[in-house]
């Protein structure tokens, strides 16, 4: 699936909150190092049951280890269940190199970080990075209960150590009796503020509506699961794709994913989630009218039409040219 893979040792497993465990990974060769961790980045874990799942890194600036946190999701399709029930210290895993489609703007005058449940993982990394940079940040941490809130003590410690630049506000459903009022929680910030959110789908939808209502334009988010898939619009006869690097032309029939057509043609593109959320299959677009169906590219990036996620997106016109 990917040529950018690494071998990692499961060095430590730690209980972080009810239903949440962190996994510390280290290079198999003790003297070697991983590519450095950026705030907002994630890696793929190639699990022993054949599944590949993406998890956010929580330890920005480090290269001697990777740390992810995994919720034992009741609706798990096998990934989180494997991590919680079968992963053991001492095992070796194949992992993907870090990718970052949720990049932190380190020059922003202020950052507002909104986390929902396990969505704290990339947001916690951002808070740590902003603490190091001494850049103003306000964290809004939402969870069903304090017991289900990972890294709570670490967040408190960070904020206590830098009260002049960091602040935090909590909303625990069992204590408030209602879901968070995002327009109220996100209000009162200057137009230059950058907003970041990671959490369940309904929260992300409410977050986007709230930011639009408040007139905020620097709005970033990351989904850890796709919304209901919508098939791309394609011509009735399908479309052709010229692949410049490989020198091949592939026909994509209606109802067939571009990724599958490329695989069937003997090509070996990188991919992972098949849902347009991880970014592994992002491919440069040279020409063509792309029908974007991913959950990563912004409205501006889609309009620029410089790249696409070949696992879910397609082509509205009869032809497409890719740098692949």
Q: pLDDT digit string (tens) for 57-113?
A: 999 999 999 999 999 988 777 889 999 999 999 999 999 999 999 999 999 999 999
* Domain parsing of the chain, residue ranges: 5-96, 111-223, 239-322
Decide if 66 contacts 25 (C-beta within 8 A): yes
The neighbouring-strand residues paired with 38 are none
Summarised one tens digit per residue, pLDDT across range 288-309 is 999 999 888 877 788 889 999 9
Tokens of 63: 């290269």
The answer to which of 45-49, 115-119, 179-183 has the lowest mean pLDDT is: 45-49
The CATH topology of domain 111-223 is Rossmann fold (3.40.50)
Rounded CA gap, 238 and 309, in Å? 18
CATH number 3.30.70.1140 given to 5-96: no
Quick one: tokens of 99? 């990718």
Q: Which of 14, 7, 219, 190 is nearest to 113 (CA)?
A: 219
What's the per-residue H, E or C state across the chain? Answer: CCCCEEEEEEEEEEEEECCEEEEEEEECCCCCCCCCCCCCCEEEEECCCCCEEEEEECCCCCCCCEEEEEECCCCCCCHHHHHHHCCCCCCEEEEECCECCCCCCCCCCCEEEEEEHHHHHHHHHHHHHHHHHCCCEEEEEEECCHHHCCCHHHHHHHHHHCCCCEEEEEEEHHHHCCCCCHHHHCCCCCCCCEEEEEECHHHHHHHHHHHHHCCCCCEEEEECCCCCCCCCCCCCCCEEEEECCCCEEEEECCCCCHHHHHHHCCCCCCCCCCCCCCCCCEEEEEEEEEECCCCCCCHHHHHHCCEEECCCCEEEEEEEEECC
pLDDT of residue 231: 66
Rg (CA), the chain: 20
- The model's confidence at residue 252, banded by pLDDT at 50, 70 and 90, is very high
- Asked whether residue 280 carries a pLDDT value surpassing 90, the answer given is no
Of residues 173, 158, 160, the one with CA closest to residue 116:
173
Q: Report, as an integer, the average pLDDT of 308-317.
A: 92
Cα dihedral value 80, 221, 270, 235, nearest 10: 120
The token pair at 144 is 């069903």
For the stretch 210-236, what's the b/e string if a residue is b when 16 or more beta carbons lie within 10 angstroms of its beta carbon? bbeebebebbbbbbbebeeeeebebee
Q: Does residue 242 carry a pLDDT above 70?
A: yes
pLDDT at residue 272 in the model? 81
CATH architecture of 239-322: Roll (3.10)
Burial class of residue 316 in the structure, from the number of CB atoms within 10 Å of its CB (0-12 exposed, 13-18 middle, 19+ buried): middle
Q: How do residues 125-162 score in pLDDT, each as one tens digit? A: 999 999 999 999 999 999 999 999 999 999 999 999 99
């Amino acid at each position: 699936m990917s040529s950018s893979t690494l071998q990692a040792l499961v060095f430590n497993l730690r209980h972080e909150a009810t239903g949440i465990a962190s996994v510390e990974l280290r290079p198999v060769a003790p003297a070697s190092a991983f590519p450095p961790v950026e705030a907002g980045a994630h890696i793929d874990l190639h699990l022993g049951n054949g599944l590949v799942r993406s998890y956010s890194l929580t330890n920005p600036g480090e290269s001697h280890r990777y740390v992810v946190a995994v919720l034992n999701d009741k609706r798990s399709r096998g990934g989180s269940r494997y991590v919680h029930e079968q992963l053991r210290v001492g095992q070796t895993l194949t992992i993907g190199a870090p990718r970052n489609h949720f990049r932190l703007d380190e020059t922003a005058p202020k950052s507002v970080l909104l986390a929902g449940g396990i969505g704290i993982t990339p947001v916690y990394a951002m808070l740590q990075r902003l603490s190091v940079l001494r850049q103003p940040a306000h964290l809004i941490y939402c969870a069903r209960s304090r017991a289900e809130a990972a890294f709570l003590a670490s967040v408190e410690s960070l904020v206590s150590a830098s009260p002049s630049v960091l602040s935090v506000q909590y909303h625990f459903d069992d204590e408030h009796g209602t879901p968070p009022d995002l327009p109220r929680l996100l209000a009162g910030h200057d137009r230059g503020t950058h907003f970041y959110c990671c959490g369940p789908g309904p929260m992300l939808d409410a977050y986007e509506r709230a930011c639009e209502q408040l007139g905020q334009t620097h709005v970033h988010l990351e989904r850890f699961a796709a919304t209901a898939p919508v098939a791309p619009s394609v011509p009735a006869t399908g479309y052709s794709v010229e692949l410049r690097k490989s020198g091949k032309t592939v026909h994509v029939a209606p109802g067939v994913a571009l990724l599958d057509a490329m695989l069937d043609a003997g090509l070996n593109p990188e991919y992972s989630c098949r849902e347009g959320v991880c970014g592994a299959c992002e491919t440069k677009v040279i020409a063509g009218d792309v029908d974007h169906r991913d959950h990563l590219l912004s409205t501006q990036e889609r309009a620029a039409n410089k790249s696409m996620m070949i696992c879910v997106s397609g082509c509205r016109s009869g032809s497409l040219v890719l740098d692949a």
